[in-house]
Amino acid sequence: MSTRPRVCVLHVGGTIGMVRTETGYAPQPGFLGEYMAAMPELRRSELPAFDVVSLEPLLDSADMAPEDWVRIAEAIAARYADYTGFVVVHGTDTMAYTASALSFLLPGLAKPVILTGSQLSLTHVRSDGREHIITALLLAGTCEIPEVCIYFASRLLRGNRAQKVHNLDFVAFDSGNLPPLAHVGVGIEVARHLVRKPGQAGRAGLTMIPLVRRPEVASVRLFPGIGAAMMSKLLEPPLEALVLETYGVGNAPSRDQALLSAIARSAAPPREVVIVNCSQCHGGSVRQTTYSTGAALARAGVLSGFDMTPEAALTKLYCLLASGLSPAEVRSRMQQDLAGELTPDPASATVS
């Protein structure tokens, strides 16, 4: 009987498994499994055994919605006891959102969940996808990294700390506030001091957090000249939570009192919109007490997002509200580190 670890490869879509059609590249059911079955490297004893599961409909990641985060999480939870780890083959455009959401939907994780994809389809002679598949399988099957991660271009990043930073370079992802969990070169060097401890789910079973509804969550990026009328319109019902992408260390226009009043009215009862301040900068942390422009947001009831990415903040808000928590409970949990997504103390946050 084989003693090789076994990895579940969940194919959800993305460039890596696309083929050229009359209307452009599109996912093709069955293509990834057939391609991997023909790869001689994957039959070597050094690599884990694997099963490819196609989660149809396969999607370009631009078409991903919260319902798709849920079906991926459910697929992992349903198969959790049967595999050493999981590889999620996904498009790059919204990979950081899905990785972040999975980290919140699957508390107690004790096995690797590695998202990967490619900038070029496997049909392309120079595709980066081939190496990504091989190494992601190796990481998921042989490395004890019990986190949701993104593997891309020789680096393993914590999923809820990663962002897509380039659409033409093979180095498509980066993590501005946390070094890679592993570097892959001639060998695999794991930064053990950064890897989170296994969750309470252990190796046998994993339960996804129960979701009871679909909340209304949004994100807006501040720009010079943004006005109170636009902000007021955005904050109208049914909006329940907002990621406010601000300047620098969490600054926003403070001389526009109408703008601040619109924010304050929405954050206060009876609306209690949960508004979280995240920096537009790729690295660094929100510090709402450093400048008066940031302090004005704090007085208006805006929460610091510390060093969370906007992607992590939005998916965290969605998952907390969808689980049925009250606005007060969500506000409290947003200030807590649930899955390695933030450094709670702004003074200790990494600044690049």
- Which residues are known to be catalytic? 92
149-185 in b/e form (b: 16+ CB < 10 A) is bbbbbbbbbbbbbbbbeeeeeeebbbbbbbebbbebe
Q: How far is CA 173 from the centre of its chain?
A: 11
- Long-range CB contacts (< 8 A, 24+ apart) of 261-267? 261/228, 261/300, 262/228, 262/231, 262/232, 262/235, 263/231, 263/235, 263/297, 263/300, 263/301, 263/302, 264/299, 264/300, 264/301, 265/235, 266/235, 266/239, 267/300, 267/301, 267/302
For 259-306, give the DSSP string.
Answer: HHHHHHHHHSTTT--EEEEEESSSSS---TTTSHHHHHHHHTTPEE-T
